[in-house]
Amino acid sequence: MFSNTFILSFFFLFFPLIITATFKNLTLPHQHPFPESVVHEVKRRVNESISRRQILDTTVTSNQCLTGNPIDDCWQCDPNWANNRQQLADCAIGFGHGAVGGKGGRYYLVSDPSDLDTVNPTLGTLRHAVIQEEPLWITFAGDMIITLKHELMINNYKTIDGRGANVHVTGGGCITLQYITNVIIHNIHIYNCVPSGNSNIRQSPTQVGWRGMSDGDGISIYSSRNIWIDHCALSHCTDGLIDAIMGSTAITISNSYFTHHDKVMLLGHDDRYVADVGMQVTIAFNHFGQGLVQRMPRCRRGYIHVVNNDFTEWQMYAIGGSANPTINCQGNRFTAPEDPNAKEVTKRVDVDERDWTQWNWRTEGDEMVNGAYFVPSGDGLSNQYALASSMEPKSAFFIDRLTMNAGVLGVPRDTSVAMSYGGRTRTTVGTNRNGGAMPKEDDGDFLEKVFGSAASTGTSSSSPSTTTILLSLLILYITTNNGGLVTLPLLLFIIVI
């Protein structure tokens, strides 16, 4: 029998080599090592929900809330959902399925739509809510338009839950997720976002930082992970509606409605930023609609799963990319414009054909309407897709059902350009929606209304487990050992202590 010393020595000598061989393509500590398994699970969830809906269609039952959309069916069929809001955190699919947001934390009620001070935000405002250190589930007292003065910097473990109200976010910024984790943004309108900045902005109760001019994105995701954007309506921003760059990963963008914009969605910083190879994004059940031009999305590196979306308008192209991204398109409907020169769904940006022929761009079960066509490339039957191909996606035949509620729930879709003029909004809000004075910081009764009790179910913690720390250290060693940032002896020393 081998001694314990021998076994430990063998483990520490060869385990990093085994892990390196297994995860040799990892560039980010938090990317999923087997993206195909995530794709497989998304399709399983969709197929399961559609099958349940089809069974109901053939039986007499009072349970008609099921739509076949696995996210909506997860929570909408609960008649008591308003008293169990945090169930939503269990409903995400795809690469962002681990985003818990403010689950397990207290409720924060936003009752003041103003944004008068970005350094010392008023209690009861959205800015005051999102900068807190603790996990929070943020809800709204009623309909409101929040006109931001500058970027809204969101802290870790937050859910912005607009259900039950008609919430609009517009103005300077708008929403920035930078170096953070676990955020859910659900059921809000975001539009008319313009560049703003060169100002001090509070990012947490203890940190204020100088911010240069923002780009005017609707939602900017920068070096962040575990992000879920669901049932939002985005339009009319200066730069992108959603941008995810600088090593952001574990993102799901679902059930949202995109209209009236040029460069809709950018995934990846630039062609030279190698860390974006680890970017993993799921784009599911969205409606890309009226007045869109391009970038739905535009990808640099990474693994992008585009599944069961409805693309009804583009002027240049729908899905583009550079720097060899993996794009897995399944069960979408692409309706081409009348322009005969814009029928192609795909665009390889600034690259010769001989360089992109090996990129893995795949179409499976997609419906092409009005002459639309997708140009695939790479080895579609390689190991890249072997697991994903083991279960066929639901075809685009079900697109109407899967995307019928895309956008903000309970209000008409934003199909008009009337809300926007040249990227500016005509609406400004300086007082609360009742026209009354703003609450004061020392108002104890108001504080009790703002911060509700902690959720009765679910937990959330920002403290990683010992296992997570050890795995993170191993991955850090693997992904940086070529540069000598973490040596094996140092890693072993850290593990021992």
* CA 301/CA 165 separation, integer angstroms: 38
Residues that are catalytic = 295
453 burial type by CB count under 10 A (0-12 exposed, 13-18 middle, 19+ buried): exposed
CA 166 to chain centre: 21
Residue with token string 């409101």? 144
Alpha-carbon torsion 192, 194, 196, 201, what sign?
Answer: positive
Beta strand residue intervals within 212-307, DSSP E: 219-222, 225-230, 233-235, 242-245, 249-254, 257-259, 261-263, 265-267, 280-284, 287-288, 292-294, 298-300, 303-307
* CA 354/CA 104 separation, integer angstroms: 52
Residue with token string 């499976």? 364
DSSP state of 63: -
Amino acid occupying residue 287: H
CA 438 to chain centre: 33
* CA 11/CA 6 separation, integer angstroms: 9
Helix, strand or coil, per DSSP, at residue 401: helix
- Do 326 and 25 meet the contact criterion of CB atoms below 8 Å apart? no
Q: Say which residues have a Cβ less than 8 Å from residue 372's Cβ, sequence separation at least 6.
A: 334, 335, 336, 343, 344, 345
